[in-house]
Amino acid sequence: MTSLKAKTVSGLLWSFIDNFSKLGITFVIGVILARLLTPREFGLVGMTTIFVAVSQSLVDSGFTQALIRKNNATQTDFATVFYFNLFIGIVLYVVLFFAAGTISRFFEELQLKPIIRVIGLSILINAFTIVQRARLTKEINFKLQTKISIIASITSGLIGIGMAYTGFGVWSLVTKSVLDFFIISLLLWLWNKWTPTLEFNWDAFREMFSFGYKLMISGLINTLYKNIYLLIIGKYFSAADLGYYTRADQFRNLPSKNITSVIQRVSYPVLAKIQDDPILLKAAYQKIIKSTMFLTFSLMITMAAIAKPLIYTLVGEKWATSVDYLQLLSLVAVFYPISAINLNMLNVKGKSNLFLRLEIIKKSLAVPVIIIGISMGIKMMIIGMMLTSITGYFLNSYYSGKLIGYSNMEQLKDIFPSFLLSIVVGSVLYGMSIFISIPDYQLLIIQLAAAFVLVISLSELFKLKDYIYIKEIISNKLALKNEKKR
C-alpha cells in the first residue's frame, strides 16, 4: 500500500507538471500567435475541431480505459488493441479526407477543405500512440510522458510562431497541431521501448470491447457535446465570433482542463487497484474530491474576476469580445472537475452501462441550450451551459455516491469551505478591476499577487484541510527529493 501511495503522489505531481507545462506552453504560444494572427484564422481551425475530436474518440473506442482497468493485461491484449486502433484510424482519415469538401461547403468556407485534409493526419498519428500512453498510465509513469509533452509543445509551438511571423496565416496553426502529435508519437516509440507482436486475439478483443464500447459511445457523446458549440457558432455566426469563443475557451481550459485531466488520469488506475476495499476506496476518493475542488474553485473564480486585464494584457484589445465569454466559461467550468471525477468512479466500479445512460441523459440537455444560442446569442448559450454543468454534477454524484456511500450532499458539505474562500478572494479581485484605474498589465500583476497571498493566508488562518493535504503532498515530495540528493 505504501508503494501505491508513493506512486500516486509521484503520479499526481508528474501529471500536474505534464499538464501544466503542456497547457502552459500551449497557452503562451497561443498568446503569441493571437498577437500575430486574427480571430478569423483561429475560427477556421475551430471549425475542424469537432470532426477531428470525434474521430479521435472513435479510434480509442474505450480500449485505453479497458487496458488500464484490466489488472492482468498481457502483451497479446496490448497488441490486439494497437492493431484495432490503427485500422480504425486509417478508415476514419480516409472518410474525413473525402468529406472535407462537404464540410467546407457546410460552413461556406472553401479554405477549410485543404485544412481538414492536413489536420486530419493527427488522427492517423494518434492511432499509433494510444497503446503507448495506456501502458505508461497503467504503470502510473507520468515522468516520461511529461518530458515528451514538453519537448513536443515547445518544438511545434516555435515552428508555428515562426510560420505565423513569416506570413503563413492559418497554416501556422495547422502545422503546429499536426507536428505536436507527430513528435509525441515519435518520442513515445523511441523511449517507451514497447513494440507490438504480430498477433490479434479475438477473445481478448471481445472481452475489452464489451467493457470499452460503452465508454466509447459515452466518450463520443461527450466529445460531440463539448464541441457542438463550435459547430453551431461556426455555422450560425462568423469565423471571427468562433475565434473569440475559442480564445476564451483556451484561457478557461488552462486551469480547468488541466486539473480534470490530471485527477482523472492518475486517480483511475490508483482507484482501480483498491476497488475491492470499500473503506479505503471512499477515503481516497474523498481526499481526491476535496483537494481537486480547492484548486478548481481558487483558479476558476480567480480567472473570472481577472478576465478583462488578463485578455487585454496578453492578447490585446482586438480580443475584447472574449472577456465576457471567458467570465461565463470560467463559471461553467467550476463544477466540471468534480462531475468528471464522479463519472470516473462508475468506470472504476465497472458500471459502464450506467455511465452510458447518464451521458445520454445529460447531453440531451444540450438541445435546448443550442436552440437558445441560435436564437438569443452566444452569451445566453454559455449561461445555458452553466445550468447543464450543475445538473450533470448532481446526476453523476448521485449514482457514484450510492456505489461507495459518499452522497452529493456530503460532497457539497466537504467542498463548501473551499468554495466560500474562493468567493471571498474573487470578490476582492473583481473589486480591484472596478476601483483601481491603472494600466491593465499592472492591474493583472497586482491581482495575481493578491490572489496568491489571499488564498494561502486564509487557508493557513482557517486551517483548511484541503489546502493542508496538498501542502503535505508537496512537502513530502520535496523532502524525499532532498534525501535522494544527499
Contact 161, 172 (CB under 8 A): yes
Average pLDDT over residues 165-181: 93
Residues 409 and 425: their CA atoms lie apart, in Å, by 24
- Cα–Cα distance, 269 to 480 (Å, whole number): 23
> Which residue has 452553466 as its cell numbers?
386
Residue 260: its pLDDT value, please?
67
Considering Cα of 110, then 112, then 114, then 116, what sign does the dihedral take? negative
327: CB partners within 8 A, 6+ apart: 304, 307
Whose CA is closest to 55, among 85, 105, 89?
89
Q: Quick one: CA dihedral 157, 162, 165, 171, positive or negative? A: negative
Question: What's the mean pLDDT when you consider all of the chain?
Answer: 84
> Which set of grid coordinates corresponds to residue 82?
494497437
The length of the chain, given as a count of residues: 486
List Cβ neighbours of 50 (8 Å cut-off, separation of 6 or more): 223, 224, 227, 228, 230, 231
Question: What is the count of structural domains for the chain?
Answer: 1
Per-residue confidence (pLDDT) for residue 78, from 0 to 100 = 82
Instruction: pLDDT band for 4, please (50, 70, 90 cuts).
Output: low
237: DSSP letter:
S
Question: Any idea what DSSP says for residue 200?
Answer: -
Of residues 135 and 445, more confidently modeled: 445
| Residues 225-277 pLDDT 10s | 778 888 899 889 888 999 999 989 888 887 776 676 666 666 666 676 676 77
CB 219 within 8 A of CB 62: yes
Environment class of residue 483 by beta-carbon count within 10 Å: exposed (0-12), middle (13-18) or buried (19+)? exposed
Would you state the cell numbers that stand for residue 333, as one nine-digit string? Answer: 467550468
pLDDT in tens, 91-148: 999 999 999 999 999 998 889 999 999 999 999 998 888 888 877 776 766 677 778 8
Position 2 confidence tier, pLDDT thresholds 50, 70, 90? very low
- Residue 455: per-residue pLDDT: 94
The rounded distance, in Å, linking the Cα atoms of 420 and 410 is 16
Dump pLDDT digits (tens) for 106-119: 998 889 999 999 99
The residue type at 251 = F
User: Apex CA 120: angle with CA 114 and CA 123, to 5°?
Assistant: 170
| Least confident stretch, 144-153, 282-291, 476-485 | 476-485
Predicted pLDDT at 286? 86
DSSP assignment string, 338-372: HHHHHHHHHHHTT-HHHHHHHHHHHHHTHHHHHHH
Q: What is the pLDDT, as a whole number, of residue 188?
A: 86
Distance CA(63)–CA(386), nearest Å, equals 31
**Which alpha helices (DSSP H) does 128-169 contain, by range?**
130-138, 143-165
Residue with cell 510560420: 163
Per the structure, the complete domain to which residue 117 belongs is given by 2-485
Question: Which DSSP state fits 192?
Answer: S
